[in-house]
Structure 1
Amino acid sequence: MFKIISVSFLQILLIVNTFALSHFDSAPGEFYLYLDSIQSALRYMKSNIEDVNLDAYFGVLLAKVHLENIDMKDMELEDTVNLAKQVLITRKNKVNLKNSSYLQNIEKYIMNEKKWKSIISKRKALKCNIKKEISYLNLDRIRLRKSLLSFDTAPNEMESDICLSEIIVTNKVHGKNKYCPSSKMCYDVMIIGQSKGYSKTHRLLYFIIGQIEGCFKCGGTKTNLAINNLCCGIMAEASAIEESGFALEFKDLFMEQLTLCAVIGYMEVLKPQWIASINDWQRLEGCWGHYYNRIRRSSTSLGPANCSSHSTGLGISTLAMAAVKMLD
């Protein structure tokens, strides 16, 4: 009645391997193009490890945890992940925490791989459900620069550092899933404040860490709603930057916008044409150049090509998340 089919262990193994690799066989060419770009950047970083600052470290860490999340066997992918590991291990061993106490708190947190793995493992695909700040599209380049790159918007660099440190430290005191109190200054500039450009992305990072730590409810408004409002505004700004023809001074901000919105789940920011542009900005040496960055600490030069440690970290993380999205 039934025909017994004899299948050897070798045949089963071949079938399993064929199934595992089929996903990569159908992967678009851009997937490997972006892996190659990431590898080139990582090799440049490895050769100039003394110049790799915390921002670059964070970009490599985000790339690593995203690429490791791909449940497939592929030599090119494994090589990329291994290179990222080498950069992270080498740089971590050279860390010398002589900064202020709040910068030490931030550095230790950012370098905690488990924190970022946890948010990625729980992440859901999110979409912007409101349209805000469309008026950005009507601004010329000069007015757009004044709006997005102003030094007068809050939070500034020091306020961002203090408030990020505050939420990290208070969570240790009050415990996970408890209300994390904030100072009046942080409440004003982070929770109820209005912001643009880098100030907006720094507020987003504040809420992302708050979400990881199960903190505040934003004075009655849920954290995910605050994040949605921020990413909707960020996407409007990113569209305006595209309309400017990706003017040089906006490139670093643009990559920061895409990285932070994507890491929390707004993968719609990883538009193919936007990612292709970021890949095109990569220099032959493998790094990304200095553009315009109002954050003084992040303006560290990377290697003899006079590239930006901050921008190169963002380029790596953005390409890695885009590569992962291609396989979804």
Structure 2
Amino acid sequence: MIEALGRLLLMSAILMLFSVPTVSAAALSNQTEDQGLFYKTLETLRKTLNFFKREYRNVNLDTIIGTRIVEGQLTVLLQRITKNPTDWPVDDYLLRELHGLRDLAKDISDKAIPFVEASDPAYYKNIGALLAAGFWELKYPSRDFTGLETYWPYQPGETLREEDSDNCLAEFFGTGSFSEDKCRISSKCWKAMTQPGYNGYSLSHQVFYLQIGEQFGCREGMEWHRLLNRQPTLDKLSATFCFNMLREASLIYMNGFPEGRQDLFMEQAALCGMMGYREFFESNWLQAILSWYDENKACYTGHAIFETEVEYRKPTSKLEHLIVKREERPLANGCLCHRSTVAAGALVNYVRYILEWEAVAKLN
């Protein structure tokens, strides 16, 4: 009874904390200030893309996943604006700006792919399908959490390794060692990539895994595995993972955005933002992300975290393969590829949600 009451109180506190998304009237109250913040977001997104444009010969595969995400999310946003142009607070100047950013992201991706393939052909062979044009045009509607999602206590430390995560992604594409057939998913991978209780990059990679499987057309096989394991629907699995990511993001915020967690914080907003979860988007969170951009070096910088520095949990079963965030690549002047990539992914979603809020406000 006491445990149930504690669960109820915690849930109530979480709902109160996150009941108003960033694009609400409470979070964006002053119109002039809001417009300044919005255009600062566009400016920083463009500067980040220009960094990738300068370095397209040197970036890694994960960076181009990021530029494809920017391209895909702006494509979806522009489609929605075009469908109902009078509903959106978008003038000709802003429309040109959005098209320009989308085209810039596409151009970077197209130019960089041959260099990415040449620099790591094995990695490209395994998961290069993620770089296909249009792959990241996720079209989820904006939504809030229901408050009924399962949650688990936060535990520090990672529980999966990146190599195993990539091998599980390769099963979707038929490029791994398990099978050459597309969408042939092993029980080992499914259980490892959908098991509850993860935090950190391990948790964000679970969302990444589900997104990729659905986008590549492997839903039938995913449904088979989740029914076999008596799991909830794929949408509920994603909602559960994103809900726990939101709770972790709030902890990062409450702890003052420690530098070592900023990269993860932006990755959480990028991945779950694409799935429509607008509760990741608070104006003070956006201001923090904008402040981390290094104007002097024209990119996102900071302390690069590598696998040797990552804290792991002790594995509790053979299914738990330790993972860290996707590999960082420092470039000239201390610019960081992964950090800049997740920043771009978060910023493009802020553009979406601010415009959506303004569209709703316009109708009301």
Say yes or no: TM over 0.5.
Answer: yes
Is residue 164 of structure 2 the alignment partner of residue 159 of structure 1? yes
2:130 pairs with 96, 102, 110, which one? 110
Contact preservation (8 Å) 2:56, 2:108: yes
**Other-structure match for 2:106:** 85
How far apart are the structure 1 equivalents of 2:355 and 2:325? 37
**Other-structure match for 1:48:** 55
> 5 Å matches for 1:1-328?
28-68=35-75, 69-70=77-78, 71=81, 73-74=92-93, 75-97=96-118, 99=120, 103-107=124-128, 109-117=129-137, 119-120=138-139, 123-129=140-146, 130=148, 133=151, 135-136=153-154, 147-148=155-156, 150-151=157-158, 153=159, 155-169=160-174, 173=181, 180-212=183-215, 213=217, 214-215=219-220, 216-217=222-223, 218=226, 219-220=229-230, 221-284=232-295, 285-291=297-303, 292=305, 294=307, 295=324, 298-302=327-331, 304-328=332-356
Counterpart AA for 1:280: S
Give the unaligned 5+ runs of structure 1: 1-24, 137-146, 175-179
Q: Describe the superposition over 1:237-269 as per-residue Cα deviations: whole angstroms up to 9, x where unpaired.
A: 001111110001101111111111111221221
Q: From the superposition, tell whether residues 111 and 255 of structure 1 become closer, same or farther in structure 2 (CA, over 3 Å).
A: same
How many residues align? The count is 281
**Root-mean-square deviation (CA), in Å?**
2.7
Structure 2 SS opposite 1:116: coil
Structure 1 SS opposite 2:301: coil
Pairwise CA distance, 1:204: 0.9
Q: Describe the superposition over 1:135-154 as per-residue Cα deviations: whole angstroms up to 9, x where unpaired.
A: 54xxxxxxxxxx44x24x1x
Q: Describe the superposition over 1:28-65 as per-residue Cα deviations: whole angstroms up to 9, x where unpaired.
A: 22221111111111222222222211222111221122
Q: From the superposition, tell whether residues 67 and 29 of structure 1 become closer, same or farther in structure 2 (CA, over 3 Å).
A: farther
Counterpart AA for 1:196: N
TM-score, normalised via structure 1 length: 0.77
Contact preservation (8 Å) 1:51, 1:309: no
Who wins on radius of gyration, i.e. which is larger?
1
Counterpart AA for 2:209: Y
How far apart are the structure 1 equivalents of 2:166 and 2:121? 10
Contact preservation (8 Å) 1:97, 1:104: no
How far apart are the structure 2 equivalents of 1:290 and 1:45? 17
How far apart are the structure 2 equivalents of 1:98 and 1:32? 36
Counterpart AA for 2:136: W
How far apart are the structure 2 equivalents of 1:124 and 1:255? 20
Contact preservation (8 Å) 1:298, 1:309: no
